[in-house]
Chains A and B, each alone.
Chain A
Amino acid sequence: MRFPHRRYIQYQILIGMEDDEIRCLCVKDNLVPPDSPGLARLRFDLADRPSPEQILDPDQGDVRAWLGNNRLDGMVLGNDYIREVLDILRTPTLRYPVEVLILSDYSAQMIREFCKKQGLKEPTEKAILAFRNYFWDAESLSFGELVEFLHLHPLGEMYLSVLADKDGRTLAVAKALANRAGKSNEYHYQPESRYGPLLPPVTVPEPPPPQ
């Protein structure tokens, strides 16, 4: 199975994480943990990867070029916007609306404007693009793969309803997700919950009847 957070998993493989460690870290970040065949395939795809020691000195050899070609340079080299990306990931009131908007093909600028209007912390456009690259690359999945993945996602049902009616549902769902648990940017981890901070249920207003 393919995942929209494929590159984050690839990053973890690159820095030398074992399979059970990757799964544990994914769960801690409220990401769907990859299964063993999925991980084996990702490792196979990265067969020519530099070693964890080589990435500590990216100017040697072709390491930097390899990272760039695989679109993994930002996280390994610690670019400034990565901190913002992780803020999006670990702030539920920001992450889920951003995911919904990306799913409905909103541009980074439109997402930024949405966050501003909702009183959320405004991520830069670069951070939104990098968030999509590492954690929500839904475009790289076929529709069938995306639907399969959304069945495992804690808010998958809601996202599927957005996919079914992008024009009518996107903004309503994104607003409801942005406003459901205050505006706290703090990240709370609940070990007893598979997906950590599952927020209270959301009531999304029905779209107005067609004129």
Chain B
Amino acid sequence: MRNSSTATDDLRALKPLDRRALNPLRHAGFSKAVLLPGEDAEQRAEIEREYIEAFHPTTRPAHDTVLDLVNLRWRLNRLDKAEESIRDSILSRTHEWVPTPIMDLEREVHDEEVELRILSRLSNSLTELIDSDESRTARNFLTSHAPILDLLLNWRESVADIEPPQAAQAISNEVGRRTAAVEATRKMLNRLVEVSRISIEAAKADALLDSKQLARIRQERTTISRRMEKGVKFLREIQTMSVIEGQFKVSAGRSDENHETNFSGIPYRSPDGSMGISEGGDA
């Protein structure tokens, strides 16, 4: 028989999947639909107007290509929105999944460890100087490092006012005391992490899903950009083509090459109504 805590844990572990399912924006990012519910038709029409003004399509193939470009541009916008939404939610969900006391304690332990690292290093350097009987250098060491040591030690008097051997001993004791304190805090943190292990694992899994989703968005964006590039190239070429014996041919700069008449897998008709030559074919 399952106990209640296990069931709760299972529910918690499932939570990120539920959230994802409820977030249509992520999936809509990959949709090929012309307009999705909630999208601004007026904005899309505006883009369409701008593209038509920019390319002035005079033939049906050119017009279709421009509409294809508008579609692709609109899908790129969708991907941008989806990516932004994922990035925003990563941060908020991390806080949601990992309990605040753990996050705070982790930060605190990290800061303490950095401070301890500085103190240990300075303590070792000072001890080495004293052991090698370089008392003047040890004094200079304390003087030059007093702004940092005084901040970290927060003693009533400055380390620059203490004789180097006594200072070295006191700093070494402080390092030992703080090491024990940091270790104890780290243990406490580990226990808290263990208690919240399921939430943390869920956060990790969630983050992994997000990174996969982001990679997919990047890939999709590259594919769309390439198709747009191809479309624009096609439009430029189609505007300078001439009709030769029912097949159309690129005339500007590339008179020896036949134009590729497929775009998005659809053969375009030449302006005189005949079918264009197939991809890679000779005139």
Contact = CB atoms under 8 A, between A and B. Distances in A.
Interface in A1-52: 11-12, 15, 17, 20-21, 24-25, 27-29
Interface stretch (B65-73, B109-117, B250-258): B109-117
A82 interface: yes
Nearest to B145: A15
Contacts of A77: 143-144
Nearest to B104: A192
A115 B63 CA distance: 76
A95 to B, nearest CB: 14
Nearest to A24: B114
Contacts of B9: none
A77 B143 CA distance: 7
B154 A24 contact: no
B158 A83 contact: yes
A83 B144 CA distance: 12
Given A56-B141, A57-B137, A15 B114 contact: no
Contacts of B129: 56
Interface string A55-87: 111100000000000000001111000110010
B176 interface: no
Find the residue from A15, A17, A187 having the highest chain B CB count within 10 A: A15
B140 interface: yes
B148 A25 contact: yes
A29 B151 CA distance: 8
B95 to A, nearest CB: 15
Interface in B84-114: 104, 108, 111, 114
Contacts of A24: 111, 114-115, 118
A191 interface: yes
A21 B117 contact: yes
B146 A78 contact: yes
Interface size class of A (residues with CB under 8 A): 20 to 34
Contacts of A187: 154
Contacts of A57: 137, 140
B144 A78 contact: yes
A191 B181 CA distance: 15
Nearest to A11: B147
A21 B150 CA distance: 15
A135 to B, nearest CB: 11
Contact of B148 (A15, A83, A189, A191): A15
A77 B104 CA distance: 38
B117 A75 contact: no
B182 to A, nearest CB: 13
Interface string B24-65: 000000000000000000000000000000000000000000
Given A28-B151, A55-B144, A78-B160, A191 B108 contact: yes
A189 B143 CA distance: 23
Contacts of A27: 111
23 contacts: A11-B147, A12-B148, A15-B148, A21-B114, A21-B118, A24-B111, A24-B114, A24-B115, A25-B148, A27-B111, A28-B151, A29-B151, A55-B144, A56-B129, A57-B137, A57-B140, A58-B140, A77-B143, A83-B158, A86-B147, A90-B151, A187-B154, A191-B111
Given A12-B148, A25-B148, A78-B140, 19 more contacts: A11-B147, A15-B144, A15-B145, A21-B117, A24-B114, A24-B118, A27-B111, A28-B152, A29-B151, A56-B140, A57-B140, A58-B140, A75-B147, A76-B144, A78-B144, A86-B147, A90-B151, A189-B154, A192-B104
